[in-house]
Amino acid sequence: MSTTPSPNAAPVVTIDGPGGAGKGTISRLIAERLGWHLLDSGALYRLTALAAAKHEVALDDEATLAEVARDLDVVFVAEGEATTVLLEGRDATTTIRTEQIGDAASQVAALPAVRQALLQRQRDFQQAPGLVADGRDMGTVVFVDAPLKIFLTASAEERARRRHLQLQEAGVNANLSSLLKEIQARDARDMQRSVAPLKPADDAITLDTTRLTIPEVVDRLTELLTERGLATAT
Q: Is 23 annotated as a binding residue?
A: yes
Q: Is 19 annotated as a binding residue?
A: yes
Q: Is 139 annotated as a binding residue?
A: no
CA 210 to mean position of chain CA atoms: 18
d(CA 37, CA 161): 30
Give the helix ranges, DSSP H, for the chain: 23-34, 41-54, 62-70, 99-109, 112-123, 156-169, 176-192, 214-227
End-to-end, the C-alpha distance of the chain in Å comes to 42
For residue 11, what is the DSSP state?
P
d(CA 38, CA 225): 16
CB 51 within 8 A of CB 60: no
Q: Is 24 annotated as a binding residue?
A: yes
Q: Is 42 annotated as a binding residue?
A: no
Q: Is 54 annotated as a binding residue?
A: no
Q: Is 89 annotated as a binding residue?
A: no
Q: Is 14 annotated as a binding residue?
A: no
Residue numbers in the known binding site for ATP are 17-25
Residue numbers in the known binding site are 17-25
